[in-house]
Amino acid sequence: MLERFEGATAVVTGAGSGLGLELARAAARRGMRLVLVDVQAQALNNAAQELRQAGAQALDFTLNVADAAAMEGLAQAVVQAWGAPHLVFNNAGVGTSGLLWEATAEEWQWVLGANLMGVAHGVRCFVPRMLEAASRDPAWRGHVVNTASMAGLVNPPNMGVYNASKHAVVSLTETLHHDLGLVSTQIGTSLLCPFFVPTGIAQSQRPGADPAHATLSQRLGQQMLDKAVQSGKVSAAQLAEHTFHAVARGEFYIYSHPQALASVRTRMEDVLEARQPTDPLADRPQVREMLGRQLGG
């Protein structure tokens, strides 16, 4: 676990807005040096200016976390400037919705690139350097936090591509925890699973995509996602603070809405009893009826 933050270095992907920006703000309040990463140049520039004006030391890098070479270059630049980072938030991600068979190959590539490969590249590029720092200093401590989602633990309909990407992040992070346990006690891991937290992820769109060509299921999914996210009672700032407290306590699973775990328990019981998957919308029959009616079910 990482208990002392002051003077340590934090890498935050998706730092230009939403949860990433709040994680960066929380890190700055704790006296950490910041490495801010985002694909949106203007949002990243605004975030970096804000944090520097507040007194934080911050480097900013505009890049796509799905780009393997760019992520390797990022890791090299960070180590050259400040050494191996102590805290890595593989947080960048995008959202999408719609019936599975309606997703294009480009949409699959975009979502998996940001949500899964961005995390994979963060692990691949930073963990070896963190392990090297740990091997040189028995007192050195580090921590990796990967952002998944409650959609990585359950499977709501009309969100299949997103669900698949986040389930993969859950598996990756649990395996990372076990793999690190084989070789080091100095680097911890956490899996962050937000539920509906107001951020900008609902407004993310694949570059070059034309919203006018969206299918009915995609439009309905977007409307439902917008409504659910904006009605969230836990803010991104609150979740960022909760995340830092969880890291300091060495917690692996971090939830924004622990009450949502009832659906996870039901899914696990489905698996163990080899029964048909329980409808995740069973407790919201009006939503299930509306979707089925409008989509022709």
What stretches of the chain show up as alpha helix (H) in DSSP?
18-29, 41-53, 68-82, 105-112, 118-136, 160-183, 216-230, 236-249, 261-273, 285-294
- Inside any domain, residue 113: yes
pTM of the predicted model, to two decimals?
Answer: 0.93
CA–CA gap between residue 235 and residue 232 (Å, rounded): 7
pLDDT of residue 95: 92
Contact 31, 9 (CB under 8 A): no
Measured over all CA atoms, what is the biggest interatomic distance in the chain, rounded to whole angstroms?
A: 62
Q: What is the pLDDT of residue 219?
A: 87
Looking at residue 69, its pLDDT comes to 98
- Terminal Cα distance for the chain, rounded: 49
Residue 277 lies in a domain: no
Considering the domain boundaries, does residue 274 fall inside one?
no
Position 29, amino acid: R
Residue-level pLDDT at 218: 87
Domain annotation covers residue 265: no
pLDDT at 233: 74
| 162 in active site | yes
pLDDT in tens, 101-158: 999 999 999 999 999 999 999 999 999 999 999 999 999 999 999 999 999 999 999 9
- Domain of 193? 9-260
Provide the domain count of the chain. 1
- Please check whether residue 135 lies inside any domain of the structure: yes
* pLDDT < 70 regions, the chain: 198-210, 227-232, 297
Token duo for residue 151: 């959609």
Residue 154 covered by a domain: yes
Whether residue 250 is contained in a domain is answered as yes
Q: Is residue 134 part of a domain?
A: yes
Query: At 73, which CATH number?
Result: 3.40.50.720
Per annotation, catalytic residue among 61, 110, 162, 255:
162
User: 34: Cβ–Cβ under 8 A, 6 or more apart, which residues?
Assistant: 9, 10, 12, 15, 24, 27, 28, 51, 56, 57, 58, 59
The confidence score (pLDDT) of residue 216 equals 87
Instruction: Check if the beta carbon of residue 187 is closer than 8 Å to that of residue 142.
Output: yes
Q: What is the pLDDT of residue 206?
A: 62
Q: Indicate if the alpha-carbon torsion angle 158, 160, 162, 166 is positive or negative.
A: positive
Burial class of residue 276, CB neighbours in 10 A (0-12, 13-18, 19+): exposed
